Amino acid sequence: MKPPKEVITRIEKLRKVIDEHRYNYHVMNFSSISEEALDSLKKELLDLEEQYPKLVTPDSPTQRVAGEPLPSFQKIRHKVPQWSFNDAFSEDDMRDFDGRVKRFLMQQGITENPTYTCELKIDGLKIVLEYQNGILVTGATRGNGEIGEDVTINVRTIESVPLRLSKNVDIVVEGEAYMSKSQFDNLNKSQVKNEEEVYMNPRNLTAGTIRQLDPRIVAARKLSSFIYDLASFEGNIPLKQDEELKFLSELGFRVNSHFKICKTIDDVIEYWKLWQHKKEQEDYQIDGVVVKVTERAFQDALGYTGKAPRWGIAFKFPAEQVTTVVEDIALQVGRTGVITPVAHLKPVLVYGSIVSRATLHNEDEIFRLGVRVGDTIILQKAGDVIPDIVEVLTKLRTGKEKVFHMPKMCPECESLLSKKTIGSKGTEQSAALYCNNDRCPAKDRRRFYHFTSKHAFDIEHLGPKNLDLLLDKGLIATFADIFTLKKGDLLTLPRFAEKSVDNMLAAIEKSRTVGLDRFIVGLSIPQVGEETAEDLAKTFGTIKKLREVSEETLSQMKGVGPIIAKSVVEWFSDSHNRKIVDDLLSAVKIESSELRNAGSKFSNKIFVLTGSLSTMSRDEAKSKIKLLGGSVSSSVSSKTSYVVVGENPGEKFIEAQKLGVPILSEAEFADLLQL
């Protein structure tokens, strides 16, 4: 049915008006119409397009959320290489940068001093957008700089990203997707209300959201964006960085307005200092200032190093510090028996995360800081690093603060504690308290946490909370009991629906077959970590041979030595521990390393990991490689089989390129794991 002319006109006008109000709200930051009225206009447009589907266009506002969830993201090769800036952390670093820029320009015969454009460094996820004839055609993640993930369907849900530009141009632009602080807070309030885990910080949530396979979830989380770079353009490229930003704004992109032209490096430093104090006023996370040479001619003369532009640098802010109060100091008993004091803090937002705990490590650290219960302290957190108490503000004491004394007895089993010195002569030494009771319930519980962790049996859906519930209800008392759990047992527990029970039982069943190295790790033998467990598995091949080996034989093994040898032999000599192994062997199957690696494409392959991986942790990637028979190295050499490159890769990426070592993006690595 041919649509009436008045319908065509109405649809065109609706699109124009809706896009105008979208631009005002999401780009210019003011409301020109109520949200309810705008929703009403969108509903009318959607109804008309459903009635006349041939009139739907790619840039229609209704196309921001469409389609079913994707099975996976496709890889996309960038038309323009995606560089990352080098970092500066101090004023001296910036003066060195200024000196390098001027020296290099002098070598090119340029005597004129450059100016610098300072832009706020938004803490989000880089996105690369391509437009053809003014229409958005692709949106991608940075990936390894050459190949990213095609996340177009999700980018289209970001209201501040125009689907059509104000000019019909072919262009590639770069920017940052992010989640506002207020939106992050709203989502966490909803999580708390629904009794679900809160999200850690806006940056991580943004990265996870952009990679959601369901665009409806992405739309509901309401991401925002800033565009800051014109990567490719067939027309006349602006001659200065500030003019480029203005041109991007004219095209309809949301550009951060707080950029500034600085004539000298001293002006740059002043701008950096100013925004250290002002950053909290904005509704987005700022983790530094990006400094670029303003003049494009100078940028072209400066060019690039192997990994970054010479004409720009990221001037990072210092580690974020906040003040809070120590409400209590509690003791945590680890699986090896070490007693760790943990400060319970008045919850505080630091570097985008709500923090309520900080380890005090040991008695020496408490003494060094002089921390008391009730003290006001300075808490420091940089990126994803565990927060540290760096100082006690003693002048704020009221006299009611309580001095904390380490106990003489274990807080869980009341066994007498012993003190051991950690560290050797010539290194920093500290004293740690240990519970020597092998039947301490707290140690047992920690061992269960370790047993099901990714480093050991890797049982999904069986983390500390669920383990606590199973232990408290008496459904498990030994590791082997995990493999005897039945559906009827679990359905009686609170919060356990049929689907979650099925998922857990499936994960337990999957973990019944385990490599010998992971089996050894899961036993929590003192002094035996992942690397030692791998060595033991390769050397002995079976658990039977390992449990019967002599201390003398073990101590002569490379990478073991007398301390580990003594610990292993003593552990297997204990009748209780031998029963743990026997019970486990009746419930699980150990896959020998020889059998597991036979015919594997990873057999004898050496992998090196660099950059941040988004779909798995570094430890998970290492575990998957080792599970398939490969090994992981910390350095690149001619013997390296593959270098897996995540976001913001380091020198290993450059070294791999120089040596011609095959490079895998995260998506390519994931594909290799599945084959």
Q: What is the pLDDT of residues 516-573, one digit of tens each?
A: 988 999 999 988 888 788 888 888 889 999 999 998 888 888 778 888 889 899 999 9
Place of tokens 């803090």: 345
Q: Output the pLDDT for position 593.
A: 52
Helix (H) or strand (E) holding 585: helix 575-585
- Active-site residues: which are they? 121
Instruction: Report whether 151 contacts 142 (CB < 8 A).
Output: no
Distance CA 257, CA 277 (A): 17
> Which tokens sit at 510?
């999957």
Span 147-196, pLDDT tens digits: 888 999 999 999 999 999 999 999 999 999 999 999 998 998 888 888 78
- Give the pLDDT mean for 381-390: 71
567-593 b/e with 16+ CB inside 10 Å = b? bbbebbeeeebeebbebbeeebebbeb
**pLDDT tens track for 198-250:** 787 888 889 889 988 888 899 999 999 999 999 999 888 899 999 999 999 99
Q: Quick check: 95 pLDDT over 70? A: yes
Give the model's pLDDT for residue 289: 96
Could you give the CA distance from residue 125 to residue 349 in angstroms, rounded to a whole number? 21
Q: What is the dihedral of CA 269, 271, 272, 273, to 10 degrees?
A: 90
pLDDT at 629: 75
What's the pLDDT tens digit per position in 250-301?
A: 999 999 999 999 999 999 999 999 998 888 889 999 989 999 999 999 999 9
Instruction: Select the more confidently predicted residue: 109 or 647.
Output: 109
**Torsion (CA) 468, 470, 476, 478 in degrees, nearest 10:** -20
DSSP state of 401: -
pLDDT at position 67, please? Answer: 54
The pLDDT score that the predictor gives to residue 140 is 94
pLDDT tops 50 at residue 427 = no
Distance CA 356, CA 353 (A): 10
pTM across the whole model: 0.52
Give the residue among 568, 584, 472 at the shortest CA–CA distance from 524. 568
Strands 320-333 and 631-633, sheet pairing: unpaired
pLDDT tops 50 at residue 596: no
CB 528 within 8 A of CB 568: yes
Question: Quick one: how many helices (H) and strands (E) in the chain?
Answer: 25, 26
Mean pLDDT over each residue of the chain, to the nearest integer? 86
SS3 201: coil
**Given this model, what pLDDT does residue 598 score?**
45
Per-residue pLDDT band for 382 (boundaries 50, 70, 90) equals: low
SS3 of 510, please?
A: helix
Q: Is the dihedral of CA 433, 437, 442, 446 positive or negative?
A: positive
